[in-house]
Amino acid sequence: MNSANSFQEQFETGGQARPGFTWPDIETVFLDMDGTLLDKYYDDYFWEHYVPEVYARKNNLDHPAARQHLLGTYRSVENTLQWTDLDYWSERLGLDIAKLKKEISHLVNILPHVVDFLAYMEDLGKKVYLVTNAHPKALQVKMERVQLETCFQRLICSQEIGVAKEEPAFWHKLHNILPYDKETTLFADDTEKVLHSAAGYGIRHLIHIAQPSSRRKAQHSRHYPSILSFRELMF
């Protein structure tokens, strides 16, 4: 029985799949940013409310009409590099998206127990990398707010790799610029499609974040061990 089937059986029978590793098994830790380390409420509010509000004012639209139009526009490039490319959206929408990001950066917040977990990783001597689809300009806005850069050996954006994390090619290209052992690597992300892509490449230890936004209910994965916070991985 493969691990995915085992996790699904536990989920469907009312159990919850737990991480199946010990920290001596792990050498390298890859961590997503939005919805994994940082509260996804900021991004949800920005794209679903703030951008439509500004877009509506500029184009003399009512807010509901602008929001409906933009949500459909976003979905047209979902799971691609354009999805998180601030320059692409600035050009397509006629707005300075990076500037708008900064205007509400006070909403950027770290999820519970993340700082403690990163300190725990340092104490254990793990190599920790931020691996994000976020555009470099968005990454800069957020790191200026939360000051977490020194917790990582390196910050890696999908723009640098050339494809989004949802694409299998991402993991091949990442391996070329950052050699790591797939058997001793742990990767945590809030998006199952990204975890599927990493699993397909052979990364052995995968963790799903069940509550990426503080304003939305937790949803546990049927395929991967899910955690509500990183406190659950401090063992």
Say if CB 197 and CB 166 are below 8 A apart.
Answer: yes
**What's the mean per-residue pLDDT of the chain?**
93
pTM of the model: 0.92
Q: In the chain, what are the domain boundaries?
A: 3-39+110-233, 42-106
pLDDT at 175 over 50: yes
Question: Residue 221 pLDDT more than 80?
Answer: yes
Query: Residue 3 pLDDT > 90, yes or no?
Result: no
Residues 173-195, mean pLDDT to the nearest whole number: 96
d(CA 37, CA 46): 17
- pLDDT of residue 11 exceeding 60: no
Q: Among the options 25, 44, 87, 96, which is catalytic? A: 25
- Calculate the CA 162 to chain-centre distance: 17
Give residue-wise pLDDT tens across range 25-70.
999 999 999 999 999 999 999 999 999 999 999 999 999 999 999 9
> What's the pLDDT at 14?
43
The domain 3-39+110-233 is placed in CATH, from the list 3.40.50.1000, 3.30.300.30, 3.40.50.261, 3.40.50.2000, at 3.40.50.1000
Active site residue 25: yes
Tell me how far CA of residue 164 lies from CA of 27, 35, 151, 171, in angstroms: 24, 16, 23, 9
